[in-house]
Amino acid sequence: MIDLSTNYLGFNLRSPLVASSGPLTKDITNIRRLEDAGASAVVMHSLFEEQLTLESQAVDRMLSQGSESYAEAQSYFPDFVSYNLGPESYLRDLTRAKKMVRIPVIGSLNGVSTGGWLRYAKAMEDAGADAIELNIYFLPTSADLDGDGLEASYCELVKALKAQVKIPVAVKLAPYFTSMANMAFKLDRAGADALVLFNRFYQPDFDLEKMEVVPNLKLSTSDELRLRLYWVASLSNRIRPELAITGGVQTAEDVVKGIMAGAHVLMMTSALLKNGIPYLKQLEKNLVEWMLLHDYESVRQMRGSMSVSAAPDPAAFERANYLKVLSSYTLRAEQR
C-alpha cells in the first residue's frame, strides 16, 4: 500500500497536498470541502495588518465628509455586513474552521509593523490556529533601505514572533534576495520552523486608454515550478526548517518533482480555482498511480532523491548546467 504521509510544522499529515492561502480558504465552508477532497492541511486567507489599519483610519473620514453635499454620497458608506475594521471576523472564522475539520488549520498573517505582527499572531494562536504562516509581502522601494537592513528586519521579526507564540511558524518568502541560500540559513538561525517558497508578487499593469494603473491577476502555471524546484533542491537537507512549495503546482507530476526536490508539502490554489476543489481527489489518485508505476512505496522514500545533496552530478544545479542548456538549444536550432 502506498504511504503518502509526510511531516510538516510538527504534524503528521496524510499526504503532501495542502491548500494554500487564497480566495478558496476565505470561505470557511470551502475548508470542509477541501478536507473532504483530500487536503491534508489548509492555510487560511491572509489577515492584512496594513489593510485593517488603513481602513479603520479611513472610515471616520468616509462617514463625516461629503455626506450632505450630494445625494449619491450615501453610496460612499461601507457595507457594514461585510466590512471588517479589525481581526475579530477573521479570528471567528478561524475558530469555526477549527471546529469544522480535523486537519491542521494554519493562520496566514501579512503584517507591516513588528507590534502588529506580534499582536495578531498571538490572537491567532488564542483563536486555535495550529500554526502561523508569515506572508511577508513587502516591496522595499526606498533607496535608504539596504539589503542587510531588510534581511535583518525579517530575522528580528521571526525571533520576536517565536518568543511570542508557542505554535510553529512558517515564513513565506519571495525569491528576490541577493543570496537566497544565505537568507534561508539566517531564518533557520532565527527559529523559523518552515520556509514556504515562493510568494507571488501581483504586479499591476497600465491601462493606456484610461491612463490608470490596474490590477493584473494571472493564475500560476507549471512553468513557475522550476524556480521553486531549484531552491528547494538546493536547500533540502542543508537547513533545519521544513520546506514547502507554493506556486506552479498543477499536476501529479509537479507534486512528484517537488517531493523529489525535497519539499515536505506542496501547496496549491490556482489548480483548484481552475479545476474545482474535487480536483484534489484526482490529483491524489494520479500521484498514487505514478508511484505504483515507478515502484515507490512512500513519499518519504521519494523526498529529496533529486536534491543537490543527493544528486550524482551536483553541477547540474550550478552554472555549468546553464551553459549546457544554452549550447543544447543552439545545436537543436542548427539541426533544423
pLDDT tens per residue, range 254-270: 999 999 999 999 999 99
As a whole number, the mean pLDDT across the chain is: 84
pLDDT tier for residue 205 given thresholds of 50, 70 and 90:
confident
pLDDT of residue 78: 40
**pLDDT above 90: percentage of residues in the chain:** 57
pLDDT of residue 307: 93
Strand, helix or coil at 13? strand
Q: Are strands 169-173 and 131-135 parallel, antiparallel or unpaired?
A: parallel
Buried/exposed code over 32-61 (b: 16+ C-beta within 10 A; e: otherwise): ebbbebbbbbbbbbbbbbeebbebeeeeee
pLDDT of residue 272: 97
Domains of the chain: 6-305 (3.20.20.70)
User: Tens of pLDDT along 152-204?
Assistant: 988 999 999 999 999 999 999 989 888 999 999 999 999 999 999 998 776 67
Residues 160, 192 contacting (CB under 8 angstroms) = no
C-alpha to C-alpha distance for 4 and 285, rounded to whole angstroms? 11
Residue 81 confidence (pLDDT) above 50: no
pLDDT of residue 162: 94
Strand, helix or coil at 245? strand
Residue 1 confidence (pLDDT) above 90: no
Identify the CA nearest to 19 among candidates 3, 4, 10, 32: 32
If one compares 192 and 71, the residue with the highest pLDDT of the two is: 192
pLDDT tier for residue 145 given thresholds of 50, 70 and 90:
confident
- At 204, the amino acid letter reads P
If one compares 122 and 77, the residue with the highest pLDDT of the two is: 122
C-alpha to C-alpha distance for 160 and 157, rounded to whole angstroms? 5
C-alpha to C-alpha distance for 103 and 116, rounded to whole angstroms? 27
**pLDDT above 70: percentage of residues in the chain:** 77
pLDDT of residue 135: 86
Q: Is the dihedral of CA 240, 1, 40, 308 positive or negative?
A: positive
Strand, helix or coil at 243? strand
Residue 324 confidence (pLDDT) above 50: yes
Residues 125, 165 contacting (CB under 8 angstroms) = yes
C-alpha to C-alpha distance for 168 and 161, rounded to whole angstroms? 10
C-alpha to C-alpha distance for 305 and 296, rounded to whole angstroms? 12
Q: What is the CA radius of gyration of the chain?
A: 22
C-alpha to C-alpha distance for 257 and 305, rounded to whole angstroms? 10
pLDDT tier for residue 98 given thresholds of 50, 70 and 90:
very high
C-alpha to C-alpha distance for 221 and 215, rounded to whole angstroms? 19
Angle between helices 180-190 and 225-235 (to 10 degrees): 60
Residues 288, 4 contacting (CB under 8 angstroms) = yes
Average pLDDT over residues 251-256: 98
Q: Which residue has the cell 536550432?
A: 333
Identify the CA nearest to 220 among candidates 209, 228, 212, 231: 228
pLDDT tier for residue 331 given thresholds of 50, 70 and 90:
low
If one compares 114 and 28, the residue with the highest pLDDT of the two is: 28
If one compares 134 and 149, the residue with the highest pLDDT of the two is: 134
pLDDT of residue 84: 45
Residue 141 confidence (pLDDT) above 70: no
Q: Are strands 105-110 and 11-13 parallel, antiparallel or unpaired?
A: unpaired
Angle between helices 147-164 and 114-127 (to 10 degrees): 30
Centre a 10 Å sphere on the Cβ of residue 77 and count the other Cβ atoms it contains: 12
Q: Which residue has the cell 543544447?
A: 328
C-alpha to C-alpha distance for 18 and 259, rounded to whole angstroms? 13
Residues 194, 187 contacting (CB under 8 angstroms) = no
For 308, which DSSP code? T
